[in-house]
Structure 1
Amino acid sequence: MTATTGRPWTSTSGRWVKAPAPSFAHLARLSDDTGLFEHARHAIVRREHGYCTDDVARGLVVVSREPEPSEELLRLAERYLAFLTHAQDTGGAFRNRLGHDRRWADEPGLGDWWGRALWGLGTAIARSPAPWVREEALVAFSRGASRRAKAPHTMAFAGLGAAEVLRRHPGHVAAASLLADAAAAVGRAGSDPRWPWPRQELTYANAALAEVVIAASQLREGGPPLDDGLRMLSWLRDVQLRDGRLSVVPARGWRHGAVRLHHDQQPIEVAAFADACATAATVTGDPAWDAGVRQAVGWFLGDNDLGTPMWDPATGGGYDGLTAHGPNLNQGAESTLALISTLQHARRWS
């Protein structure tokens, strides 16, 4: 795909198409008065699988990113925020799984859902136009920001939330400390140009690790070198290009020295890459990073290994994965949120 600048267009199968505005129709279809259902068969909700904090937090991220949200989106933000505050305990940890019977299936913990909850809360604090949403999110974020997880991915998600908080509250001490600790948990980029990644394996939402290092480099004190995050993201971009198209690391991951597979590719990987490239473009002022965002948008529109669209224009839902034989046509919450968040970045060129 050939990148251009200044136009909200992306190449797919050798032609240029305009990136559509993100649709929230399927997100509304997956939501009820409690939260956001995790799974769907095709476009129909599977209520038996219930809700998870992971997806509700991601839902709060995307609705908070809308610059002029409708009343419906504001109500979704309130609903998702209420879910997260209900999931949080007094010590700042979160439960993750709630059944359709409204009973929690787990105890509060500090897994990825804790990190994503802080990401959602931080985004609401920074971007929601509703003061009552921002105020309640700040209470919950401040409680959760006192905790620390061991896993680098978990810390990266939490750090992205902390970076959002600092955009509105630059003096928020807990957010600054959390962001610095998140970058430290990710680690420094390696010196080997063939594998500068700080870990020996690429797993999931990989670009989020590079993004949090880039965001933390902007801290006045304790931030890592910006070049570390940019080298990580540049390398990840290069190894995920195949014939000029984005071909992300599959769900099974890729270990240093092993044969890399190309399926099944997950929408969350594409969305994380789009987020990181958008952050890199904002921090550096270098429009070359917009090419990565365009490649991510193109992946959903059909500029991928199989040349097939990864969303359903009729429903607004994103397909759950790109397999060797085509899309997984189920339209669950994670894939739909990945689609929405990626298309939101197309506004950079409008």
Structure 2
Amino acid sequence: MNRSRQAGVAVETADFIPGDAVVAGIRKNIEAYEAARASVVRQVRWRVPLFVGLVLATVVLIAWLFNKVADPNEQWFSTPHVFLYVVGFAASILLYFQAMKPATRLQQSFRQTLLPIIFGFIRDVRYAHGGRPNSFDRLPREAVGPFNRESFDDVVSGRYEEFSFELYEAELREGTGKGSSTAFKGVIVAFEAIEPLPGILVATRRTNAVVGFFRGMFASKMQELSSGVPELDAAYEFRTDNAEAAQPLVSGRLAQALKWLGETWPEEPARVALNGSDGFLLLPQAKNFFELPAISVPLDYQTHVAPMISDMGAMLATAALVRKIGARDEAA
């Protein structure tokens, strides 16, 4: 059993490891998935070249007919030709995804069956895909900055230890087209705070001057605080609308928790937000935590499923630690 003790809290990493009986059940589900996967792979192998090939053949035929009326100097490259190629490219993409639908349906169905089983350490576990999480509207926008596009992938909710949570993959973007930028991409864990904070407190990574300017405009009503720890103040911005209530947290357990998070999630600083009785842990991450391998790859418990269990357990154990930030000593 591995144990990490920070901010006066022990994080147990063995509590979420499934027992032999659960693993045996998971392996049986994997066997059923593998049997269906073999059939789907055969379907996809003929559907993709057929669907896309028909589009390409149609484009070539129409382009050849355009040549009959096009200027000799514009054979294959006239304005109608170029428009045709663009339309053909878009149609190829659409038909490719249409051809892959048997694989998409199988993998999504398997996730809906598998995730509640492998996360047996979560009570009242529920799984959804693509819907807007209930807690998202309560997430302080100061934690992510401005955005005008949002998308969600897998959503898992339930009870871990003594608190309810909602964990989801989110991508938030600002702008349109090539000029858009990522405000946040990764996992958000929403949880019940032990002690409500009378206000909002966010800890976000310190950004460059341009991004900081726009974030400052967005959070103009928020006051910046200092943790008193030079390395943390260099890496993080602490903002609140209630400095009196937030300062003891920023100088105390929040600073301790962020130090531990820096060791646990070293790729990009995690973000923390408190809003009344709601707490949020934001873990920037490019990968999809619950993604299955490509349909052509056999599914293996140790390679593909066990890491999901470990990742989920680590994220919830981390949320349990962050949840202690605002607690009185006797509650922590």
Q: TM-score range by the shorter chain?
A: under 0.3
Larger radius of gyration: 2
TM-score scaled by structure 1? 0.23
What TM-score, normalized by structure 2, do the two folds share? 0.24
- Specify which structure has the higher proportion of strand: 2
